[in-house]
Structure 1
Amino acid sequence: MNGSWFASWRHVFKLDPEREISDEALDAICTSGTDAVIVGGSSGVTFENIVDLMSRIRRYEVDCALEVSTLDGAVPGFDGYFIPMVLNTGKAEWITGWQTEGLKEYGTFVPWEETAAQGYIILNEDATAAKLTEAKTDLSETDLIAHIRMADRLMRLPVIYLEYSGRFGDMQLVKRARTAAVQARIFYGGGIDNEDKARQAAEVAHTVVVGNVIYSNLASALATVTAVQEVASSSLEMK
């Protein structure tokens, strides 16, 4: 991959290294036609469980990226790396604090061409990530657009991730966010547990991230791949 390694992704599966997944299910995920698999989680992430999951995914040709959420979870060997920054928290450690600490220790080893900052905007107050980071989730449309412009225009972040984690979000709000972004890719994740929701998200976001349903209904998870691809093939690329 290269500096724009994630730019063509429309559908992505996200696997949590703390959660069990069978070899059969993993095979189905990695051969489904999805554009990529992201490994990441909000809790229980360790060097050991990331290495274990990565080694299983690497048997396949699908792109595999790591979302680096802890210092212990910085594992070499992935195709790409996302460094999350929570934009709607008042706690500085989740914006630049932990990231700076990580660069003190691993800065000379970072594969910069395959590393991208990921501006998270967490919009579900019940999400583990929201509680962990004390994110301010009750954003008005005006608040959200201001965050988008900050991330996109001032910070020039390449990815803005709208995270509803476990709840299907307001697609009109996601559409407004995507319209406000000039250069950033809008990733959407949360509550996508069937084809219809996958289509709705694909119509307004650049990249659709499917996660929890993998562990509860694999068939529904796999069906989201075709749904997103149908939207992508029937419309012009958003950017």
Structure 2
Amino acid sequence: MSFDWSEFEHVTKVDPAKRLPESIDVLRHTDAVIVGGSDGVTEENSLAVFERLRAEFPDLPLVQEPYRSAHVSKRTVEVADAVFVPAVYNGDKTNFVEKHVGFFTELARKSEDVTGSGLPFVGSVLASKGRELVAELADGVVGEGYVVQNPDSKVAGLTNVEEHYTPEQVAGAALATESFYGFPIFYIEYSGRYGGPEDVSAAAPFLDETALLYGGGIGSRAQTDEILDAGADAVVVGDCFHEDTERFLETVPTT
């Protein structure tokens, strides 16, 4: 699915390992949902979230952001509109090149759980029709240039981020995302802490085709507006959706 980010300003990140609010009706006020997390996420709880979201909001764009390939299956791919895979620039190499090669290696090795049964095999590698189906699956995978700016966060620990980038380095990462790697998304992640507009302002001038997303600590409309005014295409809101749906509504920009 191709996303028109000019129509998106507010994205909700739903963690499948966390309990959903009793009513998720507030999601009618968001533009898209990313399903993903790092702790306690499984294919099963991811699929359960996708199925509930799709049942209640059939036209809402839904994205899976898996931390590892085990979270992805034929069923999750069928219900999601895309799979976003982060490339963490300021993490270690395991969370950049090695992670992506490993991710696609696992896709190539999976059989029934990803591509369906009855496919021809040559050794452990899918052959003929099997390769075509895996290639079709891979076409739905979208790379994200990703900068983790809160070294004390759980995601920083998992990706071995020891230092945050300076605004100048964020600008360089943004430029590399669009001009070198060709990723359609650049994501500035503060993970539970509001980082303000400085990094967004540094990155925005270097992105024309690539969408700029900011996530972390958004808890008010004023913060949403500040980030959007600095040049972000969309804010990503997660914690307050799970914790306080009234406060979540306060993060939705007025249009």
Instruction: State the TM-score, normalized to the length of structure 1.
Output: 0.86
Q: Which amino acid aligns with 1:21?
A: L
Partner Cα separation in structure 2 for residue 133 and residue 126 of structure 1: 12
Query: Which residue in 2 is equivalent to 1:18?
Result: 17
Which SS does the other structure have where 2:84 is aligned?
strand
Shift of the alpha carbon at 1:208? 0.8
Deviations 1:157-186 (A, max 9, x none): 110100001111130221121112232111
Query: Which residue in 1 is equivalent to 2:142?
Result: 116
Query: Which residue in 2 is equivalent to 1:168?
Result: 194
**Distance change (3 Å), C-alpha of 1:6 and 1:81:** farther
Q: Which runs of 5+ in 2 are unaligned?
A: 109-133
Shift of the alpha carbon at 1:224? 1.8
- Pick from 45, 49, 52 the counterpart of residue 48 of structure 2: 52
Which one is further off, 154-163 or 92-101?
Answer: 92-101
Judge conservation of contact 1:39–1:64 (CA < 8 Å) in 2. yes
Judge conservation of contact 2:21–2:242 (CA < 8 Å) in 1. no
Q: Which amino acid aligns with 2:12?
A: F
| Coordinate RMSD, CA, aligned | 1.8
Deviations 1:47-97 (A, max 9, x none): 1110111111111121111112111111322111111111112x2121121
Q: Which amino acid aligns with 1:219?
A: E
Partner Cα separation in structure 1 for residue 40 and residue 198 of structure 2: 33
Which SS does the other structure have where 1:165 is aligned?
coil
Judge conservation of contact 2:148–2:164 (CA < 8 Å) in 1. no
Partner Cα separation in structure 1 for residue 225 and residue 6 of structure 2: 19
Shift of the alpha carbon at 1:7? 5.4
Which SS does the other structure have where 1:58 is aligned?
helix
Larger Rg: 2
- 1:220 matched to 2:255? The reply is no
- 1:206 matched to 2:233? The reply is yes
Query: Which residue in 1 is equivalent to 2:83?
Result: 81
Shift of the alpha carbon at 1:193? 0.8
Query: Which residue in 2 is equivalent to 1:186?
Result: 212
Partner Cα separation in structure 1 for residue 143 and residue 160 of structure 2: 20
Instruction: State the TM-score, normalized to the length of structure 2.
Output: 0.81
**Distance change (3 Å), C-alpha of 1:88 and 1:54:** same
Shift of the alpha carbon at 1:198? 1.2
Partner Cα separation in structure 2 for residue 70 and residue 113 of structure 1: 17
Judge conservation of contact 2:196–2:227 (CA < 8 Å) in 1. no
Count how many residue pairs are aligned between Structure 1 and Structure 2.
Answer: 223
Partner Cα separation in structure 2 for residue 151 and residue 141 of structure 1: 15
Percent identity of equivalent pairs: 26
Partner Cα separation in structure 1 for residue 86 and residue 46 of structure 2: 17
- 1:92 matched to 2:93? The reply is yes
Partner Cα separation in structure 2 for residue 12 and residue 182 of structure 1: 20
Partner Cα separation in structure 2 for residue 3 and residue 58 of structure 1: 18
